[in-house]
């Protein structure tokens, strides 16, 4: 095992200094322009206004009028690891998501969040389920078919067929879905996480022979950053002297490609724990993988669909005055006290204000998703009525109904804003 990393972990743990270490990383992180994400035409393609891809590392869609998607190519050259870290797709960006997967020659998607967490929609349903085995994304010309589904206690593996409708070509895409990782939190244990990570590795999808794996959670920075950091550090241990791997340096390098990777001190601490545990396999313990599988209890029946609990009081890391990552209030106060002479926190505004901002973003995303579903139903109705030779009358009625729906959505968003600022 890497004694240096374990010793560093024990020293930080003994002094309960993870908050200070996390804030030090935040302070040293690079900041780069992200102007394209702020263009008016791209605003509705961002799940959160304060999580944007840097201009120099953003993934660009090809052969489209607008090449923007909220996704970043993260490169760990020394480890020969390439990841696309992205947000959970929105209803209006699912088509762009699959276009990106196709164009980047991606072999697998790693999903680390649930569709709904704490009563908020964190991601659109962008892949077909058993009840709906095919989804068509006509805007970009793709069809996704569910081929198989393997449900474990805390993760599910889907095999999907992605078809380019225009060319008729199709590819098989593995979809690894971790279903019990709480937002802003950490997995239940390093063993269960590593069992999942090595399942992804065994598929070959992280190999440089394929296009970059697409990794996402809700914002594409916290859980996605943790997954990518642990995997990269373990690869570096395999390729070079394990004692020379510096987790903090690797994370700072990754943050040059996407802002805010690793959102909390707990996620940073868990990353160290997972690397230390994973190093046992690298150092020759051939039985460790079997123990991870046993400890993870993956063959048990899945637990309740309720998301695991996470802290009630939260505050945020900021970019350009907008909220991103979350930490508990007492943690922030402790950080500010211990490091007030070193780093300016930059978290102006109350905890409640930060929570309201995030809730407002989630509610607007929920409203947009409902509107999209309504419009799809209207379009289906319109097509049916056209077949009945009632196109003209139906179209006028549908336009009126759509305008009414749009007015209602605007009114709803206005009420939400008033309530959140009350």
Sequence-distant (6+) residues with CB within 8 A of 136 are 142, 143, 144, 165
Check whether 123 is labelled as a binding-site residue.
no
* Among candidate residues 172, 112, 177, the one with its CA nearest the CA of residue 146: 172
Check whether 87 is labelled as a binding-site residue.
no
Q: Are 140 and 65 in contact (CB under 8 A)?
A: no
Check whether 400 is labelled as a binding-site residue.
no
Question: In angstroms, rounded to a whole number, what is the distance separating the alpha carbons of residues 42 and 49?
Answer: 10
Check whether 263 is labelled as a binding-site residue.
yes
Q: Are 226 and 110 in contact (CB under 8 A)?
A: no
Check whether 278 is labelled as a binding-site residue.
no
Structural tokens at position 61? 């869609």
Question: In angstroms, rounded to a whole number, what is the distance separating the alpha carbons of residues 274 and 272?
Answer: 5
Is 217 one of the annotated active-site residues of the chain?
A: yes
- Find the catalytic residue in 217, 388, 390, 415: 217
Residue linked to tokens 């509610």: 363
Structural tokens at position 253? 């390098």
Check whether 279 is labelled as a binding-site residue.
no
What CA–CA distances, in Å, run from 366 to 119, 124, 316, 373, 374? 10, 9, 22, 11, 12
Check whether 369 is labelled as a binding-site residue.
no
User: Which residues are catalytically annotated?
Assistant: 217
Annotated binding site for substrate: 183, 217-223, 263
Annotated binding site: 183, 217-223, 263
């Amino acid at each position: 095992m890497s004694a240096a990393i374990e010793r560093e972990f024990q020293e930080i743990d003994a002094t309960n200094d993870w908050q200070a270490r996390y804030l030090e990383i935040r302070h040293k992180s690079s900041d780069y322009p992200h102007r394209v994400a702020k263009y008016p035409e791209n605003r509705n393609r961002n799940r959160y206004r304060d999580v944007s891809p840097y201009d120099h590392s953003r993934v660009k869609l090809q052969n489209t009028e607008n090449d923007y998607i909220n996704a970043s190519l993260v490169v760990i050259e020394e480890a020969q690891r390439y990841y696309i870290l992205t947000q959970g797709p929105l209803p209006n960006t699912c088509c762009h998501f699959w276009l990106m997967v196709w164009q980047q020659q991606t072999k697998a998607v790693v999903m680390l969040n649930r569709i709904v967490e704490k009563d908020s929609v964190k991601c659109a349903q962008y892949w077909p389920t058993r009840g709906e085995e095919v989804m068509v994304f006509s805007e970009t010309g793709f069809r996704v078919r569910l081929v198989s589904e393997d449900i474990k206690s805390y993760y599910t593996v889907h095999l999907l067929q992605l078809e380019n409708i225009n060319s008729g070509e199709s590819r098989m895409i593995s979809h690894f879905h971790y279903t019990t990782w709480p937002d802003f939190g950490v997995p239940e244990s390093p063993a269960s996480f590593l069992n999942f990570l090595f399942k992804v590795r065994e598929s070959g999808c992280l190999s440089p022979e394929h296009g970059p794996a697409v990794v996402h959670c809700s914002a594409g920075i916290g859980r996605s950053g943790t997954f990518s950091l642990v995997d990269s550090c373990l690869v570096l241990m395999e390729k070079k002297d394990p004692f020379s791997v510096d987790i903090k340096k690797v994370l700072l390098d990754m943050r040059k490609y996407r802002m805010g990777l690793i959102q909390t001190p707990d996620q940073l601490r868990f990353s160290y724990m997972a690397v230390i545990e994973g190093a046992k396999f690298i150092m020759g313990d051939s039985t460790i993988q079997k123990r991870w599988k046993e400890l993870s209890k993956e063959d048990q029946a899945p637990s309740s669909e309720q998301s695991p609990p996470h802290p009630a009081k939260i505050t945020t890391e900021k970019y350009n005055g907008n909220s991103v990552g979350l930490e508990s209030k007492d943690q922030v106060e402790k950080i500010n006290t211990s490091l007030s002479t070193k780093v300016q926190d930059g978290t102006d505004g109350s905890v409640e204000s930060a929570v309201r901002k995030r809730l407002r973003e989630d509610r607007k995303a929920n409203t947009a998703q409902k509107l999209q579903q309504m419009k799809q139903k209207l379009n289906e109705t319109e097509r049916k009525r056209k077949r009945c030779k009632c196109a003209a009358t139906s179209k006028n009625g549908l336009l009126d109904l759509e305008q009414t729906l749009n007015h209602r959505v605007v009114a709803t968003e206005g009420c939400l804003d008033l309530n959140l600022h009350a």
